[in-house]
Amino acid sequence: MDIDKKDVSLSKFKGKVLLIVNVASRCGLTSSNYTELSHLYENFKDRGLEVLAFPCNQFGMQEPGSNEEIKQFACTKFKAEFPIFDKVDVNGPFTAPVYRFLKSSSGGFFGDLVKWNFEKFLVDKNGKVVERYPPTTSPFQIEGLESPADGRRSSESSYRIGDNGTSGGKN
């Protein structure tokens, strides 16, 4: 479900590279990340990149606003044009399905938990999670990939996103 409470199937993004990010409006990382995500989206959307933002209030209660307040903040202050979804949980018993998938597909150093706001997951055109970035990684560092719109990395994960057709937002 998107920020406007409209159903959105992740299959809509099939064939595109996805940068999926849990966002918050009142985090110390907010300004730099929203600015850089907007820049990244603007520069690569025509080459098949989609930035998908999932507001989350699980870290320091830093996303307390309503969907309308979140949308107003992101779209007015940071000129965000990328899709923003309904507020979700990224950890715990009510974890959104999309985040269950992302976490189970990436593991590694981070383990099963999203650690903080602005953790980033890169998903290739085939729906495979190919990279997971900590909150402190600048979106501009991701832009520096040899072929960002292809989402190519060294991972051989066989997991795919968009096959079940849901974004996993909370109602």
Residues identified as active-site = 27
Which residues touch 69 (CB under 8 Å, ≥6 apart)?
A: 25
Edge-first strand order for the sheet with 120-123 is 49-55, 17-23, 120-123, 129-133
Q: Which of 29, 54, 39 is nearest to 137 (CA)?
A: 29
Cα atoms in the Cβ-side hemisphere of radius 13 Å centred on 7: 4
DSSP reduced 3-state for 45: helix
Q: Is 73 exposed, middle or buried (0-12, 13-18, 19+ CB in 10 A)?
A: buried
Any idea which residue has 């990149």 for tokens?
A: 49
- Pairing, β 129-133 against β 17-23: unpaired
Q: Can you tell me the distance from the alpha carbon of 9 to that of 155, in angstroms, rounded to the nearest whole number?
A: 25
Q: Can you tell me the distance from the alpha carbon of 110 to that of 116, in angstroms, rounded to the nearest whole number?
A: 11
